[in-house]
Amino acid sequence: MISEFRSRFRFRHLRRGLAGVALVVLVVLEGLNAPYPAMAAATMASGVLCLAALAVPERLFARYAIGAAAVSCVLTVTEAQLSERPPNTPGMVELGALLLLSTRAVRRCPPLRAAGLVAASSLAAVALPLRIELWDHYLGDLIAVIAVCAVPFMVVVGLCLRLYDTLREREREAIRQAQRLEHARELHDFVAHHVTAIVAQTKAARFTAAAGHTQSPEDLDRMLAQIERAGSQALGSMRAMVTSLRDHATASATTRPTGDPAGPHGLHGLRGLRDLRALTERFSEVGPPAELILARNSPTGHSRPASPPRSTAWCRSP
């Protein structure tokens, strides 16, 4: 399972790396369309910066996005003043990257910051066609399509993704809340068991004292130790329940009481049969006698050792 996850993780990074290399190659080819070497280098740098702004972590995204949009606008204004400009393409990869910057800003950033980033990247994207050499009515149509269709579409996509992320986070929070409630019910059972054991042992001590039987110091110490241990386990269970219900950032399934016989990871966290036997002995000490039964027979009826991942065990009280 872990090896499969690692292979998928590596394959995902490999695909992203190959896609990034392909886009950088396209940026270089578009930059070579410029008539001057300096213009070509500036076009390549601007395109690579826009691609880098898409790949940086969230904490650096706003800084890189503003820088990429500013560099793109400055380059567009500079090239628009020149007599010779790229004859074919203004930089379509850079245009797509600027539009995707708007989508990512709407999806990930707070509203005010997202509005500023969308305005900067949209302005750079709308002005980008001014880099090409021929200025005619087709250029105006291209700018109108980018401003009226492409930019609003990418903003709507970002809003949809933001809404999807919000709904998914609410769903996860609902699942965590259900887990916390389930965990609280389980802890209630453990606390009730411990308190019942305390009451039963206390009644037994009072009955023995009322009957006139003299208890040895060893028996009295053993009985008081059992009462103390059951009380400590009950307090640990109650403390864990309160912590689990108050902590909204941690899943309750990962929190178990300190005195819980099932251990820090619940019954599924038991390391082996030794822990099951210890659990049975603890229940027998503070409650009715419990018996541990191991299933070692296959469905065909033949006896065979129970493999650890597929072993079946249960406890019963006479």
**Torsion angle, CA of 171/177/179/184, rounded to 10 degrees?**
-170
Q: Indicate whether 122 and 68 sit together in one domain.
A: yes
Q: Which two tokens stand for residue 314?
A: 């249960």
Residue 7 lies in a domain: yes
pLDDT tens digits, 81-109: 888 888 878 889 999 999 999 999 999 99
Whether 168 is covered by a domain: the verdict is: no
Task: Give the pLDDT confidence of 128-167 residue by residue, as tens digits.
Answer: 988 887 776 788 888 889 999 999 999 999 999 999 999 9
pLDDT at 76 > cutoff 80: yes
Residues 6+ apart with CB under 8 A from 120: 65, 66, 69, 70, 73
pLDDT of amino acid 5: 56
User: By residue range, what is the domain housing residue 223?
Assistant: 177-272+281-287
255: in domain: yes
pLDDT digits (tens, 9 = 90+) for 284-315: 665 556 677 766 544 444 444 444 444 444 44
C-alpha distances (whole Å) from 56 to each of 33, 53, 102, 104, 173 are 28, 6, 15, 11, 28
Mean pLDDT, range 182-191, rounded to an integer: 75
Buried b (16+ CB within 10 A) or exposed e, 152-179: eebbebbeeebeeeeeeeeeeeeebeeb
- At 135, which amino acid appears? W
Name the domain count of the chain. Answer: 2
Question: 220 and 120: one domain?
Answer: no
Query: Is the four-CA dihedral 132, 134, 136, 141 of positive or negative sign?
Result: negative
- Whether 49 maps to a domain, the answer reads yes
Contact between 254 and 178 under an 8 Å Cβ cutoff? The reply is no
Q: Span 3-32, mean pLDDT? A: 81
Do 123 and 18 have their domain in common?
A: yes
Q: Is residue 294 part of a domain?
A: no
Output b/e per residue, 108-126; b: 16+ Cβ within 10 A. Answer: bbeeeebebbbebbbbbbb
Q: Is the pLDDT of residue 211 over 50?
A: yes
Q: How far is the C-alpha of 53 from the C-alpha of 60, rounded, in Å?
A: 8
Distance, in Å, from the CA atom of 318 to the CA atom of 316, rounded to the nearest integer, reads 7
Q: Given the structure tokens 């809340």, which residue do they identify?
A: 177
Give the model's confidence band at 12: pLDDT under 50 very low, under 70 low, under 90 confident, else very high.
Answer: confident
The pLDDT confidence band at residue 276, using thresholds 50, 70 and 90, is: low
Residues 119-124, mean pLDDT to the nearest whole number: 94
177 against 62, higher pLDDT: 62
pLDDT, mean over the chain: 77
Helix (H, G, I), strand (E, B) or coil at 57: coil
For the chain, give the percent of residues with pLDDT over 90.
Answer: 31
Return d(Cα 292, Cα 178) in angstroms, integer: 31
Q: Kindly state the average pLDDT of the residues 64-77.
A: 94
CA atoms within 13 A on the CB side of 128: 33
- What is the pLDDT, as a whole number, of residue 289? 67
Same-domain pairing of 129 and 182: no
- Please choose, from the candidates 178, 158, 151, the residue with its C-alpha nearest in 3D space to the C-alpha of residue 244: 178
For residue 258, pLDDT over 50 is answered with no
Backbone CA torsion sign across 169, 172, 174, 179: negative
Q: Cα(253)–Cα(245) distance, rounded to whole angstroms?
A: 11
Whether 150 maps to a domain, the answer reads no
8 A C-beta contact, residue 65 and residue 120: yes
Asked if residue 128 is part of any domain, the answer here is yes
